[in-house]
């Protein structure tokens, strides 16, 4: 015996679901809403990833000291932009810095550095990630004495022009025949990219000053 009363068929629900116009309207409104969300996310991402944006300093950051310190609130290492410390002792304008970045990027693309290295974790895992290479204590501790150069950037230029002559590891970087101008632009690029707030990536990176060793 049927004891469940379902009442009279409700007008609307069953009828709407059967109506193709209901589905068409649903598809169109969902698409419109998602396009608005996508547009918002695109604009928001651009403001985060563009040089001069929230997480990525403008190119003329190469005129400044870039530190890398443990941030207790975020519990990770973050770049700290300090006072004036011009690359190669020469302050550059924003336009000159942008030209250096353009050249550095072309060198990195033309020599396919990412066949061995990674930037932001993208690339090949044969050689170290280069995102924070500028901050690598090995420039001061190993390559400056090894190349006899007085500054980090001079040691980097020398290494990039003759990596086969200054090995520190069982894997060697081959000589990719960079001119001095190309090597200097590459160093400028490496300095800028190290200033990007990567949320602590790469996680196991060690800096000269182990600020994370001491709690404030
Ligand atoms: C064939 C593989 C290969 C290619 C291509 C390559 N590298 Fe390397 N690179 C290495 C290896 C291996 C090391 C580690 C060398 C050592 O420590 O002796 C290295 C080390 C480095 C370092 C030092 C990293 C650090 O902080 O310890 C930098 C900077 C660097 N490479 C930049 C570049 C750039 C820029 C390019 C492209 C112009 C490039 N490499 C292309 C293999 C490569």
Sign of CA dihedral 57, 109, 90, 167: positive
* Ligand 1 contact via 188 beta carbon (within 6 Å): no
Going from the Cα of 173 to the center of ligand 1, the distance in angstroms, rounded, reads 5
Q: For residue 107, which atom of ligand 1 is closest to its CA? A: 38
The answer to whether the CB of 141 is under 6 A from ligand 1 is: no
Written as one string, the DSSP assignment of 32-78 is HHHHHHHHHHHHHHHHHHSTTSSSS--GGGGGEEEEEEEETTTTEEE
pLDDT at residue 53, rounded to an integer: 84
pLDDT at 205: 79
Q: For ligand 1, say whether the CB of 128 is within 6 Å of any of its atoms.
A: yes
131 lines ligand 1 (CB under 6 A): no
CA of 108 to the centre of ligand 1 (A): 11
Q: What separation in Å is there between the alpha carbon of 127 and the centre of ligand 1?
A: 6
Q: Dihedral of CA 104/106/111/114: which sign?
A: positive
Q: For ligand 1, is residue 117 a contact (CB within 6 Å)?
A: yes
Contact 186 CB / ligand 1 (< 6 Å): yes
Q: Is the CB of 111 under 6 A from ligand 1?
A: yes
CATH fourth-level superfamily of 59-213: Cytochrome c-like domain (1.10.760.10)
Q: What is the pLDDT, as a whole number, of residue 105? A: 97
Local structure of 119: helix, strand or coil: strand
- For residue 6, the CA-to-ligand 1 centroid distance in Å is 74
The residue whose CB lies within 8 Å of the most ligand 1 atoms, and thus the one to mutate among 111, 128, 186, 208, is 128
User: SS3 of 112, please?
Assistant: coil
Block means of pLDDT (10 residues each) for the chain, 216 residues, are 57 71 94 97 90 92 96 93 97 98 98 97 96 96 97 98 96 97 98 95 68 42
Sketch the domain layout of the chain as residue ranges.
13-49, 59-213
pLDDT at residue 179, as a whole number:
98
Indicate which residue's Cα is closest to atom 31 of ligand 1. 173
Round to whole Å and give the CA distance between 54 and 197: 9
Look up the pTM and report it.
0.84
């Amino acid at each position: 015996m049927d004891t469940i009363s379902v009442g009279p068929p409700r007008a609307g629900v069953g009828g709407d679901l059967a109506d193709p116009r209901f589905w068409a309207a649903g598809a169109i409104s969902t698409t419109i809403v998602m396009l608005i969300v996508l547009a918002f996310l695109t604009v928001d991402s651009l403001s985060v990833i563009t040089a001069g944006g929230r997480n990525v300093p403008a190119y003329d950051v190469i005129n400044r000291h870039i530190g890398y310190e443990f941030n207790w609130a975020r519990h990770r290492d973050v770049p700290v932009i300090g006072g004036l410390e011009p690359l190669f002792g020469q302050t550059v304008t924003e336009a000159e810095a942008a030209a250096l970045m353009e050249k550095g990027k072309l060198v990195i693309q033309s020599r396919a550095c990412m066949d061995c290295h990674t930037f932001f974790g993208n690339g090949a895992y044969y050689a170290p990630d280069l995102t924070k290479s500028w901050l690598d204590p090995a420039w001061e501790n190993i390559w400056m004495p090894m190349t006899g150069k007085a500054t980090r950037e001079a040691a980097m230029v020398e290494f990039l022009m003759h990596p086969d002559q200054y090995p520190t590891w069982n894997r060697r970087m081959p000589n990719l025949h960079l001119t001095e101008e190309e090597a200097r632009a590459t160093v400028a690029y490496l300095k800028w990219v190290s200033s990007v707030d990567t949320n602590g990536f790469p996680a196991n990176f060690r800096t000269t000053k182990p600020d994370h060793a001491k709690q404030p």
